[in-house]
Homo-oligomer: A and B are copies of this chain.
């Protein structure tokens, strides 16, 4: 089975497994797990923030950010196709009472004008904007790598209006790799960032939420509320530390994605744009089949991908598919279409 469904499926390699076995641990609710502590301080250093906190998932990290930045009843500005809007079960509304003002943006990032226009001043009838939430890379728009300047420009307008900015950087290392900039440069203009370790970097479990000391203190409490205060978490933080060493392999994922996209585009009925990172969106309308039928035919060939629209299929490259896997997959797909 060649599995392009998501980079979340990456499995830990031997080094990670050894790290799990050998991790020095303690009770992280008492803040005594040295492996978690090291992970948090290394991630903060890498991202250029004061502090960071380890969370079981990126969804939890995003939801914590939503609550800690805001007061109930405020608005959040976010791209309509962002993960926090589409794939987190409406948590901003459900868990934090926030109204998301959905923006339709060009590449997933609002322009300064859109931010300006989207800000709502607190008043007798209006909630006031409490947060701008960005995403980089932008998953639902095909893994687009957003320029640090664009992030900075959007954040600047928010900050001028005393609105904090959270970055859903689940794949921000992919963005940094694609744009060839230090990840801290992307993170610099925002107040907080979530980074997934369990996707392209290959950790079995976990995402980081990073920001100021004061913010992370508050986040620690909200993590407890949501049920994310794990105990001897060093067992998974150990592999996660290894995952930090895997940033360079993302470049390979991106090459594989380009090769996959090129190959798919050659196949009858597939229309594919060159990807910017590790996500390839294929328009399969030309096959005369809908997404479900295409996925079924792929699966018969032992190739897995994901439904992303009525005639759009998402392929995601990652550490567990090699260049050879990509080639093999293309042959099998070509054979059946």
- With beta carbons under 8 angstroms apart, the residue of B29, B85, B126, B239 that contacts A235 is B239
Q: How far is the CB of A164 from chain B (nearest CB, A)?
A: 17
| Copies held by the complex | 4
Instruction: Please state if A8 and B20 are interface contacts (CB–CB under 8 Å).
Output: no
**A234 CB-CB contact with B under 8 Å:** yes
Instruction: Please state if B30 and A232 are interface contacts (CB–CB under 8 Å).
Output: no
**A108 CB-CB contact with B under 8 Å:** no
Chain B residues with CB below 8 A from A229, complex form = 57, 59, 124
What are the interface flags for A238-274 relative to B under an 8 Å C-beta threshold, 1 for contact and 0 otherwise? 0100000000000000000000000000000000000
A198 and B232 in contact, given A98-B93, A225-B91 (Cβ under 8 angstroms): yes
Instruction: Please state if B227 and A63 are interface contacts (CB–CB under 8 Å).
Output: yes
- With beta carbons under 8 angstroms apart, the residue of B17, B58, B74, B98 that contacts A21 is B17
Question: Closest 7 A-B residue pairs measured CB to CB?
Answer: A60-B227, A204-B232, A90-B99, A21-B21, A90-B127, A73-B94, A93-B93
Query: Which residues of chain A have a CB within 8 Å of any CB of chain B?
Result: 5-6, 8-12, 17-18, 20-22, 25-27, 29-30, 32, 55-64, 71-75, 80, 85-95, 97-102, 104, 124-127, 198, 204-206, 220-221, 224-236, 239
